[in-house]
Amino acid sequence: MRAGNLLRQLDQRLLPPLTRVVARLGDRSARSGVLSWAAVLSAAAVLGTAVWAVDDTPVGDRTVGEVTRVGVADGDSVPGYLRSAAADLAALPASAPAAEDGTYALVTLDAYLPPQRLATVLGDVGVSTVFGRVPLPGRQTEIVKIPALRVPDDVVAGMEQVAVRKETEAADYRARAAAVDGDGVGERELREQYASGAEVAAAEAAAYRTGCACVYAAVVRATPVALRDVAARPDVRAVDPAPEVYRLDRTVFTPPLPEQRDVVRPPVDTGPSPAPTRSERPAPVISAPAPSPPVGESSEPAPVVTIPSPEPSKPEPTESAPPSVTTSPDATLAEPSPPSPSS
């Protein structure tokens, strides 16, 4: 019942009797007392109606805007994170609220694996997303998220989509390099950076096209017993359970890279072009528009790009989603091996 209708009914029921009582009472003091009580009753009715109307208002989703983060951030200790993940997994009770439907967890691999190896490591648990990166020695490459409900088929299809986008990106960088006029220091550096970006993008495209050993983490959902079983398998570095996660669209996963062994640090790109600092970076590189995220710049981590989930029957390429939060390689550690030409 709406508040306005309730007030009208209260008026219809209370005012006539009060009017009759006031008419019968002749003396001023009695009439004043009755009016006082009428005012009190009316105020109480209005207050009760207001409280009822507020309580009847639908409550929105109070979790809007909240983001859960699982993984590491710049400056975190990698050994400390691995110990914490192992302790959380051991303490995860089988009777946890999310245990019946499965608990989400971030599985970090000890090395970059090709799609076909994932079936052995993750094949019997529910997989939602895998993280990939082409481990080019001394070069910063893009971190990609590939939805993968079917392993390895969805991973291979997602890599094909990334390869197509990287080929387009390499061609765009070459065109931009050719369009730079002049032979000054700034123009030469700009051409070199565009050429470096084209080189990295072309190498990434070739690696993904052949189903490279590029996958280093996955988001899974399974019972605590199954998660502990995954943690004991070869090639698994850590299983970080996240029982607090109920919605993946409000969760950011940042797994450490295989080459990050001590502390998560911003990357250092040892490519052919001089790496400008954040304050010294040429303005044209920042302002020049590009249809896809730039790669090869050493002062910022490579963006994470999510690949749309393939259709259950036959995956088809779609446009990628906007960039998200990233995790960067630790360039001071051992260099990863370049991607093998075949899986």
Phi and psi based region of residue 329 (left: phi greater than 0; alpha: psi -120 to 50; beta: remaining): beta
pLDDT tens, position by position, 34-48: 556 666 666 666 566
Question: Which tokens go with 93?
Answer: 């009770």
Mean pLDDT of 202-217: 98
Average pLDDT of every residue of the chain:
76
Beta strands 215-222 and 103-113, pairing class: antiparallel
What single-letter amino acid sits at 169?
E
pTM, 2 dp: 0.65
**327 or 32, greater pLDDT:** 32
- If you ran DSSP here, which 8-state letter would residue 221 be given? E
- If you ran DSSP here, which 8-state letter would residue 134 be given? -
pLDDT tens, position by position, 279-310: 333 333 333 334 344 333 333 345 566 665 44
DSSP string, 243-284: TT---GGGEEEEPPPTT--SB-------SSS----TTTS-HH
Residue 316: per-residue pLDDT: 41
What single-letter amino acid sits at 164?
V
DSSP string, 59-118: P--TTTT--EEEE--TT-BHHHHHHHHHHHHHH--TT-TTTTT-EEEEEEEEEEE-HHHH
pLDDT tens, position by position, 116-129: 999 999 988 999 99
pLDDT tens, position by position, 51-68: 555 544 455 555 556 899
Q: What is the phi/psi pair of residue 146, to 5°?
A: -120, 115
Q: From residue 66, how far is each of 61, 62, 228, 248, 263 by CA, in Å? A: 11, 9, 29, 12, 27
Question: Which tokens go with 141?
Answer: 């490459």
